[in-house]
């Protein structure tokens, strides 16, 4: 059964489930008993919302209501149950059909929850500004380092410039280095051996035979300055 609910500064319309939702996506006033849907679960209790975010959402217009979220807290009926807090869309908050009077401790609890939301929002804003300032500083350092590298190259500065940059946590110039690497390559080659048995043929294979077989495949083993370290016989066929 749906009911009419009068909330200050909030128009309300009946929902299909018998509850009441705020018209236009505007959240109910603090202290209204609501149900908050998060996924498939419902949480019920008295609402406290970050009113600065609600005002910003209202100012953004109806087109943004379905996309933006606001911070809310829900104080449950049971004093032993924890307060639910989260960020939800306005259409996830439904005014309960059965309204309950606010508890005697409401003003104290609601004030603390609202203050905590403000503190978290301000901290997030400061963190965002700090991250932005750090990103701008990194871009400035990179630009200065790039200009310094160009100036050092134009004036034929030696490695002392690079050591100075490194000592002051600035990127030194990049240059090409020749790096010698020792490489191990695995391949399979066939070696022809005359022997009395497969076991003898396996025993007769030596490094020189394998090196010659590899050389025939690559056009010369020694000419490429290659050296065979080891080999393993994987099978013998007559």
From first to last of the 238 residues of the chain, give the pLDDT tens digit: 333 333 333 333 333 334 444 434 578 999 999 999 887 788 899 999 998 888 887 776 655 555 688 999 999 988 888 999 989 888 899 999 899 999 888 988 999 999 999 999 999 999 999 999 999 999 998 899 889 888 888 888 878 888 888 888 888 888 888 998 888 888 888 999 988 898 888 889 998 898 888 888 888 777 777 888 888 888 888 7
Residue 43: which of 108, 88, 13, 102 has the closest Cα?
88
How far are the Cα atoms of 139, 141, 142, 151, 168 from residue 135, in angstroms, in the given order? 6, 10, 11, 24, 19
Whole-structure pTM value: 0.52
Q: Which run of H or E residues covers position 91?
A: none
């Amino acid at each position: 059964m749906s009911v009419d609910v009068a909330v200050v500064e909030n128009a309300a319309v009946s929902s299909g489930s018998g509850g009441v939702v705020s018209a236009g996506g505007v959240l109910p006033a603090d202290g209204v008993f609501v149900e908050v849907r998060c996924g498939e679960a419902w949480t019920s209790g008295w609402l406290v919302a970050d009113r600065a975010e609600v005002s910003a959402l209202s100012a953004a217009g109806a087109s943004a209501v379905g996309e933006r979220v606001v911070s809310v807290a829900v104080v449950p009926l049971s004093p032993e149950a924890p307060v639910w807090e989260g960020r939800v869309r306005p259409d996830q908050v439904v005014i309960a059909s059965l309204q309950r009077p606010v508890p005697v401790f409401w003003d104290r609890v609601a004030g603390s929850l609202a203050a905590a939301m403000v503190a978290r929002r301000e901290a997030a804003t400061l963190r965002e500004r700090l991250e932005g300032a750090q990103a701008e500083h990194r871009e400035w350092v990179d630009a200065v380092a790039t200009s310094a590298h160009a100036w050092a190259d134009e004036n034929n500065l030696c490695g002392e410039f690079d050591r100075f940059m490194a000592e002051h946590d600035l990127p030194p110039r990049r240059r090409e280095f020749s790096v010698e690497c020792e490489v191990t390559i695995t391949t399979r080659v066939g070696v022809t051996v005359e022997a009395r048995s497969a076991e003898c043929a396996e025993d007769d294979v030596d490094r020189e035979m394998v090196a010659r077989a590899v050389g025939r495949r690559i056009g010369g083993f020694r000419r490429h300055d290659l050296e065979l370290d080891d080999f393993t016989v994987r099978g013998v066929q007559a």
